[in-house]
Amino acid sequence: MATSDTVDKARTLLEERRSELQRELKQIEGALSGLGARARRGPGRPRGSGGGGRRRKRRGGTRADQAVRLIGENPGIGVSELGKKMRLKAPNYLYRVLPDLEKEGRVKKQGSGYHAA
């Protein structure tokens, strides 16, 4: 009969634990409903990437503006020299930016150097 008592005690302990968990679940559900419905970020998405956020504006000028200013100060400057003056680790960035500045009419390419428009 000792086995029957052990089983009854285990059943009682499990039922008590289930009651505790049900109360805790109700508290959690109440807390969640109090927070309101919000869209969740996807897994692995950083905070603030839930959409609808505004981008920060740059302080001061952009690198493109800096490049235009330096080209005006140094007519005929080449891309590598411009990158050095801008203290860029990789001047390859300028090979992407300068053609856009040329299309905008802010700089002109003459030979291998750039001049202010």
pTM of the model: 0.48
> What pLDDT sits at residue 19?
93
- Is 81 strand, coil or helix? helix
| Diameter of the chain measured on Cα atoms | 102
Q: Residue 23: its pLDDT value, please?
A: 94
Can you give the pLDDT of all 117 residues of the chain as single tens digits? Answer: 578 899 999 999 999 999 999 999 999 998 888 877 565 666 666 666 555 556 655 555 688 889 999 999 999 999 889 989 998 888 788 888 899 999 999 999 998 899 988
Structure tokens at 113: 């150097």
Backbone angles phi, psi at 105, to 5 degrees: 80, 20
**Structure tokens that stand for 51 in this block:** 């959409």
- pLDDT of 9 reads 92
d(CA 34, CA 28) in angstroms, rounded, equals: 10
Element housing 109 (H / E): strand 107-110
Q: Is 56 exposed, middle or buried (0-12, 13-18, 19+ CB in 10 A)?
A: exposed
Q: What pLDDT does residue 22 have?
A: 95
What end-to-end distance do the CA atoms of the chain give, in Å? 101
pLDDT of residue 2: 74
